[in-house]
Amino acid sequence: MKIPFELLHTFVLAARAERMAGAASTLGLTPGAVSQRIKELESVVGRQLLVRSPKGVEFTRAGQRLFERIDDPLRALEAAYADASGRRHPQRIVITTTPSFAANWLVDRLTDFAHSHPKIEVAVETRNSVVDLRSDPVDLAIRHGLGEYPGLVSHWLMAPAQIVVGSPRLLERGPPIKRPEDCLGYPLLHDIEQKDWAYWLEALGRKSEVPKSGNAFSDDALLVRAAVAGQGLALVYDVYAAKDIAAGRLVQPYKGRWPSRFGYYLVGRADTFRRPAVRRFKTWLTAEASKAM
């Protein structure tokens, strides 16, 4: 029996990208040429495999069954070819996340993953903008939100809370903090929109005018560094300040916490999570996140 490998590979690429244009970009073809190949494959197998939708393409039942049977074997062929040609490590995972999360939580823990899984390479890209996991050369994203990402699969990791932190030197020079509004007697560090302190006080049922003076930062890692330098009190997520609190560079002058309704999620395409290396990384990451909560 002659197997139409070229047509099957085109079908799998279109299904992974969930749109013809994604497969076209990989294959160096036009979306029309990809669509023609899919039609040719459907003619060969005698069933419709993909249907167009406003979001791209979706499986028929027959298409889903075919994809589930051939995706892993084709990935093995792709990995073997990449390994033989030296073009890509067969077990490399590319992850995107924010600079804060990478610097203050993820990077240090990757040492443990490397020891446990020496054959799996992890590449971390940091950016505050959201990437398109259907078209960008990225496997997974660690995102902060509600876990609702249409067309993607998300796995909950953790829900950090905001805490008040400041340097011991700064707090030695000022009055004690017994109530949330006592924080206003110190220089304040702000998020870039200067709304964090007002939201925090409101969440605690306090009504106080928050001064707008003080440095503002777009990244939590920068807020932590500014607090360590003694520039003022900061509201930051506990996971970002944990190392500096443990080292004594920061303290919590007010122990109240503001639980966040948002959480961190590991996000990716459904087919990406079926890869053995990704499954191992997801298992490890969720276990590490559970330890931090």
Percentage with pLDDT > 90 across the chain? 38
Instruction: Indicate the pLDDT class of residue 259, thresholds 50, 70 and 90.
Output: low
| Spatial separation of the C-alpha atoms in residues 236 and 244, rounded to whole Å | 12
Give one DSSP letter per residue of 58-108, joined into a string: EE-HHHHHHHHHHHHHHHHHHHHHHHHHTSS-TTEEEEEE-HHHIIIIIHH
pLDDT digits (tens, 9 = 90+) for 17-32: 777 877 777 778 888 8
Alpha-carbon distances, residue 281 vs 94, 113, 293 (angstroms): 11, 8, 19
Under DSSP, the state recorded for 173 is T
Q: Check residue 255 and give its pLDDT.
A: 84
Instruction: Indicate the pLDDT class of residue 135, thresholds 50, 70 and 90.
Output: low
pLDDT at 293 over 70: no
pLDDT, mean of residues 119-126: 89
User: Shortest CA distance to 156 belongs to which of 273, 263, 275, 269?
Assistant: 263
Q: Check residue 84 and give its pLDDT.
A: 66
Strand 92-97 relative to strand 153-158, pairing: unpaired
Q: Check residue 85 and give its pLDDT.
A: 60
Q: Check residue 288 and give its pLDDT.
A: 93
Q: Compute φ and ψ for 143, nearest 5 degrees.
A: -120, 150
Q: CA dihedral in degrees (55, 56, 61, 65; nearest 10)?
A: -120
pLDDT, mean of residues 261-287: 90
Instruction: Indicate the pLDDT class of residue 86, thresholds 50, 70 and 90.
Output: low
pLDDT, mean of residues 127-155: 81
| Spatial separation of the C-alpha atoms in residues 17 and 26, rounded to whole Å | 10
Q: Compute φ and ψ for 108, nearest 5 degrees.
A: -60, -35
Q: CA dihedral in degrees (206, 211, 214, 219; nearest 10)?
A: 40
Please state, as a whole number, how many other Cβ atoms lie within 10 Å of the Cβ of residue 64. Answer: 14
pLDDT, mean of residues 233-247: 91
If you search the block for the tokens 């075919």, which residue do you land on?
A: 66
pLDDT digits (tens, 9 = 90+) for 159-215: 888 899 999 999 998 899 999 999 999 999 998 888 888 888 887 888 778 888 889
User: In what order do the strands lie in the sheet containing 234-237?
Assistant: 234-237, 161-165, 258-259
pLDDT, mean of residues 101-119: 90
pLDDT at 82 over 70: no
Q: Check residue 83 and give its pLDDT.
A: 60
| Spatial separation of the C-alpha atoms in residues 136 and 108, rounded to whole Å | 26
pLDDT, mean of residues 74-96: 71
Buried b / exposed e over 194-207, threshold 16 CB at 10 Å, is: eebbbebbeeeeee
Residue that wins the pLDDT comparison between 38 and 86 = 38
**Domains, the chain:** 5-85 (1.10.10.10), 92-158+262-292 (3.40.190.10), 161-259 (3.40.190.10)
Query: Are 234 and 114 spatial neighbours (Cβ–Cβ below 8 Å)?
Result: no
pLDDT, mean of residues 150-160: 89
User: Shortest CA distance to 121 belongs to which of 143, 98, 89?
Assistant: 89
User: How confident is the prediction for the chain on average, in pLDDT?
Assistant: 86
Strand 258-259 relative to strand 161-165, pairing: antiparallel
User: Shortest CA distance to 97 belongs to which of 60, 143, 138?
Assistant: 143
pLDDT at 89 over 70: no
pLDDT at 61 over 70: yes
pLDDT at 246 over 60: yes
Q: Which amino acid is at 140?
A: L
| Spatial separation of the C-alpha atoms in residues 275 and 153, rounded to whole Å | 14
